[in-house]
Amino acid sequence: MNMPAVQLVRALILLLAVACHPTPNKQAQIPNRAGDSIEKRIKAIQVEAKRIDAANEVPETIEHRQLTKDLPHWQLYGLFEASAPIFLDAMFTEGQVVRQESYYLAHGKLLLVKVVTWWDVDDPRKAPEPATEQDFYIDNDQTIRHTIKTESTRPVTRTDDTARAAAGLVDRSQMIAKILLGARDAPETDLLRRFPDAELHRP
């Protein structure tokens, strides 16, 4: 076989290999991180959360639809791929207390929950309690890290890496999604008023 023919065969093999290579999904697959260190697992969740934030900042597209709903005490928002949520936001206001909950999901799995609670007063220094921000990092339906940041003159952050079931957080995200989608079995928002997983037990 002469040299041009060899080169032609090589080129055809290369083109065939490229054509048979699977096209990656637009939404990156989350690898099984069970064997990774907790820091690697947290980093992977943070990377995916940033990707979701970026998708949430652009106008609605055919692939991503935005749903909102205003209810007594509640403002709800969700970003959906078909009927699957990838981001949910629920703001609850009762008196002067405001609680904002944000949920990040990928492939139907909850990855991250952020809960910020503050008092809606003119001077935050006169609030009965300081504002708090809680982050729940979730892998395979388990909370693998819970951080609590308390805003004050000197902010304090506590980190708990005790693994625990995240069933309550998963159920909560599913309830919010059902309300936004107008599902027949959507719960009443009264069920969301209390948030046991985010209640701080102070000494």
10: confidence class by pLDDT, cuts 50, 70, 90: low
Q: Residue 12: is its pLDDT beyond 50? A: no
Q: How many residues does the chain have?
A: 203
Three-state SS string across 131-148, please?
CEEEEEEEECCEEEEEEE
**Tens digits of per-residue pLDDT, 18-68?**
333 333 334 444 444 556 799 999 999 999 999 999 999 988 888 899 999
Q: What is the pLDDT of residue 33?
A: 55
Nearest to 99 by CA among 87, 114, 116: 116
Q: How far apart are the C-alpha atoms of 39 and 157, rounded to whole Å?
A: 17
Q: What is the spatial distance between Cα 46 and Cα 70, in angstroms, rounded to a whole number?
A: 29
Domain spans of the chain, in order of start: 35-189
The structure's pTM equals 0.81
